[in-house]
């Protein structure tokens, strides 16, 4: 018997197999991203909004990790970023803890939920002069979309990497 057979018979799953991206255990739907917008880029006071929904069924969100592109990274300490983030469910604010590590911000939800509406306001997002200038002129606009990454952590499932494509508006 191999180690994998031992794990199967003892009732404990093979942890290495569960942590691989894309291995969600059969037909478990992936989480989705929707209603993505990045506004206020031209005046350099950007606000990012998006909605994360867990996969259909019994999936529950426990954390969200956001990585923005180089043109508009996060700025400030974790406390400043925490004050600039709002997480809602059906119009009610949810409690969370945000921490910054490099170019990423991890939002750990205090209450497990299946849908979260995330807003990150301008105090946490830095917009470069070059990006603001390229968005200012609508006729000769050079930047139409920015791309980032959102990692969604669900209870009982491995992390899922989703592409965050933001349509840039003034």
Q: What is the pLDDT of residues 139-148, one digit of tens each?
A: 555 566 888 9
Query: Which tens digit of pLDDT belongs to each residue from 24-35?
Result: 556 678 899 999
Residue 128 lies in a domain: yes
What pLDDT is attached to residue 16? Answer: 40
- Cα 83 to Cα 33: distance, rounded to the nearest angstrom: 23
Q: Which residue has the tokens 């980032």?
A: 148
What pLDDT is attached to residue 142? Answer: 58
Q: What are phi and psi of 107, to 5 degrees?
A: -110, 110
Residue 20 lies in a domain: no
Residue 21 has pLDDT above 70, yes or no: no
**Mean pLDDT for all residues in the chain:** 80
Q: How many distinct structural domains can be found in the chain?
A: 1
Q: What CATH number is given to the structural domain containing 128? A: 2.60.40.740
- Exposure string over 131-166, b if 16+ CB within 10 A, otherwise e: bbebbeeeeeeeeeebebebbbbbeebeebebebeb
* Share of residues in the chain with pLDDT > 70 (%): 77
Residue 125 lies in a domain: yes
Q: What is the pTM of this model?
A: 0.78
Residue 5 lies in a domain: no
Query: Which tens digit of pLDDT belongs to each residue from 52-70?
Result: 999 887 689 999 999 988 7
Average pLDDT over residues 71-80: 83
What pLDDT is attached to residue 19? Answer: 41
What pLDDT is attached to residue 44? Answer: 87
Residue 62 lies in a domain: yes
Query: Which tens digit of pLDDT belongs to each residue from 115-126?
Result: 999 999 988 998
Residue 84 has pLDDT above 50, yes or no: yes
What pLDDT is attached to residue 108? Answer: 94
**Which residues form the domain of 131?**
31-167
Residue 74 lies in a domain: yes
């Amino acid at each position: 018997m191999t180690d994998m057979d031992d794990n199967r018979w003892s009732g404990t799953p093979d942890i290495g197999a569960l942590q691989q991206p894309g291995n969600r255990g059969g037909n478990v739907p992936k989480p989705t991203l929707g209603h993505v917008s990045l506004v206020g880029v031209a005046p350099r006071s950007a606000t990012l909004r998006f909605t994360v929904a867990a996969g259909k069924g019994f999936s529950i969100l426990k954390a969200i990790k956001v990585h923005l592109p180089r043109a508009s990274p996060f700025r400030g300490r974790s406390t400043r970023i925490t004050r600039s983030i709002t997480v809602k469910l059906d119009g009610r604010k949810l409690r969370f803890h945000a921490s910054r590590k490099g170019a990423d911000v991890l939002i750990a939800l205090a209450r497990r939920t299946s849908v979260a509406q995330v807003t990150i306001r301008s105090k946490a997002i830095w917009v470069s002069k070059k990006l603001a200038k390229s968005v200012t002129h609508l006729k000769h606009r050079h930047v139409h979309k920015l791309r980032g990454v959102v990692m969604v952590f669900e209870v009982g499932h491995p992390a899922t990497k989703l592409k965050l494509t933001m349509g840039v508006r003034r």
